[in-house]
Amino acid sequence: MIKHQKFIFFIILFMFIHSNSEIFAKKKVSLDAEYKRWLNIAHHIITPDEKEVFLKLKNNRDRRSFINLFWKMRDPSKGTPENEYKDEHLKRYKYANRYYKHGSPLPGWKTARGKIHIILGPPVSREEITEQNGLYPIEIWEYFGGVEKGLPTAFRMVFYKKHGSGGFRQYIPAVDGPSALLRSGVGTIDTNNNYEVYKEIKELNPTVADIALTLIPGEPLHNYSPSLRGPILMSKVYNYPKKKINANYAKNFLNFKGIVKTYSTTDYISTKSDIYILKDPILGLNFVHIALRPERVSVGYLEDKEKYYLNFNLTVLLKKGSDIILKYDKNFPLYYTKKELDSTISNGLIITDHFPIISGKYKLTTILQNSLNREISYNEKNIIIDEKKSSTVRYPELYRPLVSYKINSNSRMVYSPFKVMNKNIKIDPKRMFGLKDSLTTFFGVERGKYDKNFQVELEIKSLDERRKYQKKYLFTYPKGKKIWYFTKELEKLKYGNYIIKTKVLDKDGKVLNTSQNDFQVSPLSNVPHPPQAFTVLKSENSFIYYKVLAEQYQNNKDLKMTNVFYERAYKKNQSYPALIKSYAGFLIKQKRYDEALAIINGLKKHEKERFSYYALKGRIFYYQKKYQEAIDVLHKANKIFDSDTTVLNTLGFSYVKTGNREEAIRALSASLKVNAYQNNIKDVMKKLKNNAKKK
């Protein structure tokens, strides 16, 4: 049996204010039992800034004053003797300690149920599912939220006993997965097939089936996939009691500015992120490069393998207005020996990734989850790709400069994040470096339509008035190059804040374009930089990038460019199942049925793709009005998997076209058993039955 031993590594933020670091301050903190207990009571509602200030206080008099102010800031009826918020919170805290400790080594206020009870109060309704009918013990708590609270109108908090023992844990569909609720059936169903798991749970308990995929009643789902809104909902719930608290009062209480924030002790963690747009000079494609550095990394232990492990899941959403242009998930499972652990991620970890992107203005959302300790971070950034005003003369494009503490040569024929022109660029999203770091800048310039000679200027400038520094470097853009990347090792810099600026200059020295970034140099000689975790793509698989771009163009309703990139991808690889299915779906929508038939033949050589082959072929025959051929092929698909609504509906419609109402009703009835919320199918069924009665 695998036992999890969790280790939390805190990444130290070297930002000194008044020559006093957070870790130095913490070493001097010595609290009486009364104030340690108060921190426990306030654990789920205190903001990081408030806690930081409290831990920096030097005497109990100041601590008592701060605690009084802390409760007053939350008092809904200021000016009256009562403080309803404080009274209710203490009531919830006592209740959690009394009723939620059972089965857990933790005090009640630290348990999953205790945490939610303290934050949200008692639920509107509570349903308990005992250990029976193949399910682990489960509790479902119903709550009402509302826009004014930043929460859905209604939602559920769900708890379960993992493997049927120990205390209750929080259940989040996208993190735990529906199969975690099942006690039996694991050996008879495919636990990776969301529909099979959902169907198994529904047969055992319909109520549990509803919460297995989403915590929000009525949320539309796709292909029975667990909702991604669960982690976002949880982060909002955990931050709900802190949302409306302006922590400026705490900063003023200490009477100095720029307090270093403490690390979150809830399951929602902050993450430093950095986003760069870099064009690949070989493929000629713009790529978004992402770097995420979570402030906390939890690690588990596999006793049977004698290894430590962690598992990050990265979800990326690219939206244009309300339209999703791109969405994908990627896992980063990592395993270490004790020695590797100490030497590798003792200073944290940076998750990096990249993807190609089409021109436009977008909101980029990244959700990073560590399954070990339910650590979730949520980041949003607005990005613009090639959004320039139309002009007869297009000035050279500048890619935002970055500063790296290490750049390695890499001649491997692979694509990976922050690898450009055979160079691996080590990036730290905090952009803070030590005095002994050898800093190198990296930036790109694209000539575009500008056909005249020009130069590129690099400027490094201090933002600190007391430590003035300014240095400029001039580069000549190489002839005959459409795009070029420059590197320049910087002089050793004193500690402080800096700006790095690049400029394109014409022959007369006129500035045509500029781009800039900022970074910091710490007063410490060495600042530890965590390693990067990433995946690579072999160069022969670059067709996948064209597929991704084709899907982006399709979601952006640019059918011409969709076709261009599908053709490019398919020309490079005509046997990749995911590409074939995606391309065929596009061709079917464009009514290019013969082309679709031709490319799906590539699926026949893959045994696991026989269902997709028959399903697609049946749809194409239906659209070609070859109804009997469609029926023959769709029956083959249905024999492989009999619960696909698209196959069943197309089969039913094909029978309608051939006049076989009885078989049509049978196929459509089977479809409604799989998904009872298909109103259009219900309407067709009603007409078929009415016509049968008339005859």
Least confident of 21-30, 291-300, 502-511: 21-30
The answer, yes or no, to whether residue 331 has pLDDT greater than 50, is yes
pLDDT at residue 141, as a whole number: 96
Q: Which two tokens stand for residue 440?
A: 């190198």
> Contact, 398 vs 424, CB < 8 A?
no
Q: Averaged over 486-500, what is the pLDDT?
A: 95
CATH architecture of 271-538: Sandwich (2.60)
Q: Is 431 left (phi over 0), alpha (psi -120 to 50) or beta?
A: left
Query: What angle do the packed helices 33-41 and 60-72 form, to 10 degrees?
Result: 20
DSSP state of 20: B
Count of helices and strands (H, E) across the chain: 21, 27
Comma-separated ranges of CATH 1.25.40.10 domains in the chain: 542-694
Query: pLDDT tens-digit profile of 430-470?
Result: 999 999 999 999 999 998 888 888 999 999 999 998 889 99
Q: How far apart are CA 297 and CA 47, in angstroms?
A: 20
pLDDT at residue 284, as a whole number: 92
Q: Averaged over 172-195, what is the pLDDT?
A: 80
- Kindly calculate the radius of gyration of the chain based on its CA atoms and give it in whole angstroms: 29
DSSP state of 149: G
The DSSP-derived string for 572-628 is: H-S--HHHHHHHHHHHHHTT-HHHHHHHHGGGTT-GGGHHHHHHHHHHHHHHTT-HH
Helix (H, G, I), strand (E, B) or coil at 651: helix
Query: What angle do the packed helices 593-600 and 610-623 form, to 10 degrees?
Result: 160
The burial of 94, by beta-carbon neighbours within 10 Å (0-12 exposed, 13-18 middle, 19 or more buried), is given as middle
Q: Averaged over 644-667, what is the pLDDT?
A: 94
DSSP state of 458: E
374 confidence band (pLDDT: 50, 70, 90): low
Task: Using DSSP bridges, classify how beta strands 470-476 and 455-462 pair: parallel, antiparallel or unpaired.
Answer: antiparallel
Q: Which residues of 231-265 are buried (b: 16+ CB within 10 A; e: fewer)?
A: bbbbbbbbbbbbeebebebbbebbeeeebbbbbbe
pLDDT at residue 44, as a whole number: 94
Q: To 5 degrees, how large is the angle CA 309–CA 347–CA 486?
A: 110
Amino acid (1-letter code) at residue 316: V
pLDDT at residue 498, as a whole number: 97
Q: In what order do the strands lie in the sheet with 423-426?
A: 406-409, 423-426, 419-420
The answer, yes or no, to whether residue 392 has pLDDT greater than 80, is no
Q: Averaged over 207-219, what is the pLDDT?
A: 90
Q: How far apart are CA 473 and CA 175, in angstroms?
A: 49
The burial of 216, by beta-carbon neighbours within 10 Å (0-12 exposed, 13-18 middle, 19 or more buried), is given as middle
pLDDT at residue 8, as a whole number: 25
Share the mean pLDDT of the chain. Answer: 86
- Of 161, 193, 188, the residue nearest 177 (C-alpha): 193
Q: Averaged over 254-269, what is the pLDDT?
A: 37
Q: How far apart are CA 78 and CA 557, in angstroms?
A: 54
- Three-class HEC string of 413-449: CEECCCEECCEEEECCCCCEECCCCCCEEEEEEECCC
Helices (H), 121-193: 173-176
| 563: Cβ contacts below 8 Å, ≥ 6 apart | 550, 586, 590
319 beta partners:
324, 363
The answer, yes or no, to whether residue 683 has pLDDT greater than 50, is yes
pLDDT at residue 388, as a whole number: 59
The DSSP-derived string for 350-404 is: EEEEEEE--SEEEEEEEEEEETTTTEEEEEEEEEEES-----SSPPPEEEEEEEE
259 confidence band (pLDDT: 50, 70, 90): very low
Q: How far apart are CA 233 and CA 237, in angstroms?
A: 6
Least confident of 229-243, 293-307, 347-361: 293-307
Comma-separated ranges of CATH 2.60.40.3880 domains in the chain: 271-538
- Alpha-carbon distances of 140 from 171, 398, 408, 427, rounded to whole Å: 10, 53, 52, 43
Decide which of 101 and 387 is more confident. 101
Q: Averaged over 535-551, what is the pLDDT?
A: 95
Decide which of 251 and 489 is more confident. 489
CB atoms within 10 A of CB 352: 24
Decide which of 322 and 581 is more confident. 581
Query: pLDDT tens-digit profile of 288-315?
Result: 999 999 987 888 888 877 888 888 889 8
Q: How far apart are CA 255 and CA 278, in angstroms?
A: 43
In a 13 Å sphere around the CA of 541, the CA atoms on its Cβ side amount to 10
The answer, yes or no, to whether residue 61 has pLDDT greater than 60, is yes
> Contact, 334 vs 340, CB < 8 A?
no
Q: How far apart are CA 509 and CA 609, in angstroms?
A: 61
The burial of 111, by beta-carbon neighbours within 10 Å (0-12 exposed, 13-18 middle, 19 or more buried), is given as buried
Q: Averaged over 235-259, what is the pLDDT?
A: 69
323 beta partners:
320
- Alpha-carbon distances of 650 from 83, 580, 657, 659, rounded to whole Å: 63, 20, 11, 14
- Alpha-carbon distances of 224 from 214, 536, 644, rounded to whole Å: 10, 29, 12
pLDDT at residue 565, as a whole number: 97
The answer, yes or no, to whether residue 322 has pLDDT greater than 60, is yes
CB atoms within 10 A of CB 27: 8
pLDDT at residue 393, as a whole number: 59
Amino acid (1-letter code) at residue 10: F
- Which CATH code is given to the segment(s) 542-694? 1.25.40.10
| Count, residues in the chain | 695
pLDDT at residue 185, as a whole number: 54
pLDDT at residue 20, as a whole number: 33
Q: Averaged over 142-153, what is the pLDDT?
A: 86
Q: Averaged over 563-569, what is the pLDDT?
A: 97
The answer, yes or no, to whether residue 4 has pLDDT greater than 90, is no
Q: Please report, rounded to a whole number, the percentage of residues in the chain having pLDDT higher than 70.
A: 89
